[in-house]
């Protein structure tokens, strides 16, 4: 029975609510969500119980990649508001006990950032070495065979200076040269600028990609993601830069930092998040996000609960007392969880509650993506012209080149496009789901009449109120330490339909049982039932022997 716990931090029992500002709430009718619109909804987030807001980028940007291409880190994009609006958001959130975490996007900038404009102007410009420029090979081809996430090649030719520049994402997102100490100091100065305004921390975009090897070797692995990742993901340089960032910036503030880190193992997770290493508070891994697809190859696979349980349990167990987990089903880059893992038709409410229960009872900091607490679903697209996302268009082209029909390609995107997460939040049954009085930048989901925040907040049996209860359990005195710091034990790892696990701490035990299928199940658990803590059905339970589970049922039991 576990009685130990890591030295506590405020973010250990925090619950983070992610806002994608463009799609959250539009205050001025221009069809684009904005910062004043977020301020209008702070009481809603407070009612839910989340005490941290992660804000996707609101910096000045040409919006080639919806704000992840930044042209000025210290200015607010005019479509989102002003610096005064941003400062008011921080102040108003703080009044409600909510901290604001901003996106730190420093692997790359926009090609319209003044730094890159200078860098591109000539080979002898003082900022030339702020980005990664390389001569072509003798035949004029790219310096190596690395791929980009958004284009077939990671290098873009510049006719003016006769060199290529590196971009792991769009050609409008050139990679910064972190080997240059001037670049690092400029980033650190910018971080201080925001933290001094009272920011609660940073979500660090693809932060494990900032260290590039000086010899830029060719990729040798081509079957598990973009070619080249084995050289630029999770290398020693990255860890060195993060420790320097901690020393020069983060150690001066009590903040949450979460690194977005594709291609990571649990060992990487411990390297990044072990408090003794002074890097980041926690990371987002993606291992559980690749079970049902090969994203880079745009191939769908069946969801395998046994594999999912093995992955989640590995991260729970391997980071126990050695680091910190983040917990998430959705974000702005993932489709809607209830459409992906649940049943978004007949059992939408029940399966959305099940997914919340299964995740939120684990150790780590949970992240709720806007609309997840409403059980929002994927939108149905019929043509590639309806998509906004760069990655969707890139994958569509790749699938057609591979011989798929347009219909099959759209079918894949209807499961996995990032645009599903970016469809505006459904606030009410009014026009455009109450998101805007104008024309929304991306069309709303047609099901907003049935699924919206006004309906959910007024219905005590809604997904919203179930999430409230999950948050109250995590932050409450009765079970908080068990959920936040308790030991995890997976039960019946080979069960292909039911996910059951134990959490135990200081003499108290919780049993979580979640039926991931739309069929009724019966299971036996050799524990004495003390109390039903939370259930997504109204069933009475008196024994854990021959426990009957209805479709997508999830129950939390206190046991001994």
Is 430 labeled as catalytic in the residue annotation? no
Is 307 labeled as catalytic in the residue annotation? no
Task: Give the chain's end-to-end CA distance (angstroms, integer).
Answer: 11
Integer Cα distance of 372 and 17 in angstroms: 10
In this structure, are residues 103 and 87 in contact, taking their beta carbons and an 8 Å threshold? no
* C-alpha count within 13 angstroms, C-beta hemisphere, residue 313: 18
Token match 């619109």: residue? 37
In this structure, are residues 260 and 281 in contact, taking their beta carbons and an 8 Å threshold? no
In sequence order, what are the residues at sequence separation of 6 or more whose Cβ sits closer than 8 angstroms to the Cβ of residue 551? 343, 347, 350, 351, 515, 517, 518, 519, 520
- Which string of b and e fits 151-165 if b means at least 16 CB within 10 Å? bebbbbeeeebebbb
Strand 508-515 with 299-300, pairing: unpaired
Is residue 502 helix, strand or coil? strand
Q: State how far the alpha carbon of 155 is from the alpha carbons of 186, 345, 402, 495, 518, in Å.
A: 24, 44, 23, 46, 47
Enter the tokens of residue 198: 């009272």
Is residue 360 helix, strand or coil? helix
In this structure, are residues 154 and 167 in contact, taking their beta carbons and an 8 Å threshold? yes
Q: Which helix (H) or strand (E) holds 100?
A: strand 99-104
- The DSSP call for residue 151 is S
Is residue 338 helix, strand or coil? helix
Of 34, 147, 260, 279, the active-site residue reads 260
Burial class, 317, CB count within 10 angstroms (exposed 0-12 / middle 13-18 / buried 19+):
middle
Enter the tokens of residue 480: 């908080």
Helices and strands (DSSP H and E) totals, the chain = 17, 22
Is residue 120 helix, strand or coil? helix
In sequence order, what are the residues at sequence separation of 6 or more whose Cβ sits closer than 8 angstroms to the Cβ of residue 113? 70, 71, 72
**Residues recorded for the chain:** 560
In sequence order, what are the residues at sequence separation of 6 or more whose Cβ sits closer than 8 angstroms to the Cβ of residue 523? 492, 495, 498, 500, 513, 547, 549
Burial class, 119, CB count within 10 angstroms (exposed 0-12 / middle 13-18 / buried 19+):
buried
Strand 529-535 with 554-559, pairing: antiparallel
Strand 498-505 with 133-134, pairing: unpaired
Of 64, 205, 372, 373, the active-site residue reads 205
Integer Cα distance of 24 and 454 in angstroms: 15
Q: Which residues participate in catalysis according to the annotation?
A: 205, 260
């Amino acid at each position: 029975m576990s009685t130990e716990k890591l030295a506590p931090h405020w973010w250990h029992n925090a619950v983070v609510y992610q806002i994608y500002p463009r799609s959250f709430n539009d205050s001025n009718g221009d069809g684009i969500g904005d910062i004043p619109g977020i301020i209008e909804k702070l009481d809603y987030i407070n009612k839910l119980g989340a005490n941290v807001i992660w804000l996707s980028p609101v910096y000045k940007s040409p919006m080639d990649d919806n704000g992840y291409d930044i042209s000025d880190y210290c200015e607010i994009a005019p479509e989102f508001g002003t610096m005064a609006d941003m400062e008011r958001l921080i102040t108003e959130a703080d009044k409600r006990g909510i901290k604001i975490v901003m996106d730190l996007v420093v692997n790359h900038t926009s090609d319209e950032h003044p730094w890159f404009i200078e860098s591109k102007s000539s080979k002898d410009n003082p900022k030339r070495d702020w980005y990664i420029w390389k001569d072509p090979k003798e035949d004029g081809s790219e310096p190596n065979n690395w791929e980009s996430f958004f284009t077939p090649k990671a290098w873009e030719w510049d006719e003016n200076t006769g060199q290529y520049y590196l971009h792991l994402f769009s050609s409008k997102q050139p990679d910064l040269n972190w080997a240059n100490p001037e670049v690092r100091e400029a980033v650190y100065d910018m971080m201080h600028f925001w933290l001094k305004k009272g920011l609660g921390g940073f979500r660090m975009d693809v932060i494990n990609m900032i260290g590039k090897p000086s010899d830029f070797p060719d990729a040798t692995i081509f079957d598990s993601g973009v070619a080249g990742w084995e050289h630029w993901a999770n290398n020693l340089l990255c860890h060195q830069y993060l420790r320097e960032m901690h020393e020069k910036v983060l150690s001066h503030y009590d903040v949450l930092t979460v690194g977005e880190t594709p291609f990571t193992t649990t060992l990487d997770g411990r390297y990044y998040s072990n408090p003794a290493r002074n890097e980041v508070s926690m990371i987002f891994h993606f291992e559980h996000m690749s079970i049902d697809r090969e994203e880079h190859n745009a191939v769908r696979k069946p969801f395998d609960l046994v594999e999912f349980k093995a992955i989640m349990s590995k991260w729970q167990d391997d980071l126990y007392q050695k680091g910190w987990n983040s917990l998430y089903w959705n974000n702005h880059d993932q489709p809607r969880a209830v459409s992906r893992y649940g049943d978004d038709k007949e059992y939408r409410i029940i399966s959305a509650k099940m997914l919340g229960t299964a995740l939120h009872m684990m150790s780590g900091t949970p992240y709720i993506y806007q609309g997840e607490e409403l059980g929002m679903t994927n939108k149905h697209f019929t043509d590639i012209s309806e998509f906004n996302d760069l990655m969707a268009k890139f994958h569509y082209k790749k699938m057609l080149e591979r011989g798929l029909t347009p219909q099959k390609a759209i079918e894949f995107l209807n499961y996995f496009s990032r645009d599903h997460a970016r469809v505006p939040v459904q606030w009410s049954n009014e026009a455009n789901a109450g998101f805007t009085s104008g024309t929304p930048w991306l069309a709303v989901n047609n099901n907003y009449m049935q699924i919206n925040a006004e309906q959910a907040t007024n219905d005590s049996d809604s997904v919203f109120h179930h999430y409230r209860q999950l948050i109250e359990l995590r932050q409450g005195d009765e079970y908080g330490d068990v959920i936040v710091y308790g030991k995890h034990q997976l039960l019946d790892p080979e069960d292909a339909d039911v996910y059951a696990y134990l959490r135990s701490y200081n003499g108290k035990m919780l049993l979580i049982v979640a039926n991931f299928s739309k069929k009724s199940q019966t299971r036996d658990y050799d524990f004495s039932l003390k109390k039903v803590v939370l259930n997504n059905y109204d069933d009475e339970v008196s024994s854990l022997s021959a426990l009957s589970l209805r479709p997508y049922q999830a129950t939390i039991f206190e046991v001994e």
